[in-house]
Amino acid sequence: MKDYPTPPEGLVVEAGDGVLRIRLDRPDRRNAITDDMVMALIETIEAAGSDESVRVIALTATGEHFCSGFDLGLRGRTDERPRIGSTQRQMRWHVNRLIPTMLETQTPIVTAASGYVIGLGLNLVLASDFAVVAEDARLRAPFTGLGFTPDSGASWLIPRLVGVARAKELLMLSREITGLEAAAWGLVHRAAPAKAVAAAADELVAELAGAATVAVGLTKLLVQRSLTVDLERHLADEGFAMELSRRSADFQEAAKARKDRRTPDFDGR
């Protein structure tokens, strides 16, 4: 297992049994995310992508709320006026790296969320491969209601998941929806009663930790790339992924299991 960066205050990182567990841990602030947490999430997820002992990432939070967004209370604590354009310059190396990192890593990400799922917290959920949310969770992209525009990929993620009409409702009107509605819209993988969210997410984590890791990771890559390339390029990507996955030990194990009429025992190689 790789050595991961020491997490900052507000973030807990643990690894074992093929799972890297990341937990937002600022319940007193409804798990609002700080600058240090953003950078640590980027570094940790990037490291997990090349750690062969990690087969799935599990993202959770302490307390009753998943995340209330970025901690805006940390902004504007100086009287010095920044140069024009400072916001977009800072975003390039900050939050604008986090969502692409989640989408591009071939390690699948499972997120369990209850309570507030707001702003950047919502984007973390949407950028996960599988998100299980509480039926009564409160999902909202509050940007325009606060007088500014969406960030960290919200206006890219949401239209692709639920279509333009519903994206405008969520983004332009800052409409809040429940976890049950989010699942019905296709915004998240599924909704569950609040007490069952952790167990439902753990089932997915266990399934992915025992899956054909190479094939799963390449399939995630294919799905992500399909959003931005034409069919000809995508078919070429599929051929490349097939070539790689057929060389994996898990592919050989699946063939042996079929011959022996048993369930394959994938080791992620």
Domain's final residue, options 209, 227, 249: 209
**Tens digits of per-residue pLDDT, 72-100?**
877 655 566 766 655 655 655 577 899 99
Q: SS3 for 140?
A: strand
Is 76 found in the same domain as 64? yes
Is 228 found in the same domain as 184? no
Report the CATH number at residue 158: 3.90.226.10
Is 217 found in the same domain as 201? no
Q: Is residue 5 part of a domain?
A: no
Question: In 2-99, at which residue ranges do the beta strands (DSSP E only) sit?
Answer: 11-16, 19-24, 56-61
Is 197 found in the same domain as 228? no
Q: What phi and psi values does residue 9 have, to the nearest 5 degrees?
A: -60, 135
Q: How many domains does the chain have?
A: 2
Separation of alpha carbons 223 and 129, rounded Å: 10
**Tens digits of per-residue pLDDT, 153-167?**
999 999 999 999 999
Report the CATH number at residue 246: 1.10.12
Is 248 found in the same domain as 149? no
Is 230 found in the same domain as 136? no
Q: Is residue 205 part of a domain?
A: yes
Is 217 found in the same domain as 146? no
- Structural domain for 251, as ranges: 213-260
Q: Which two tokens stand for residue 121?
A: 């917290």
Q: Is residue 3 part of a domain?
A: no
Which residues of the chain, if any, have pLDDT below 70? 1, 75-80, 82-93
Is 237 found in the same domain as 124? no
What burial letters (b/e) apply to 117-128, b meaning 16+ CB within 10 Å? bbbbbbbbbbbb
Q: Is residue 269 part of a domain?
A: no
Is this prediction's pTM over 0.75? Answer: yes
Is 246 found in the same domain as 166? no
pLDDT at 75: 61
pLDDT at 195: 97
Separation of alpha carbons 24 and 67, rounded Å: 8
Strand partners, 19: 16, 56
Is 21 found in the same domain as 94? yes
Is 63 found in the same domain as 172? yes
pLDDT at 95: 76
Is 233 found in the same domain as 204? no
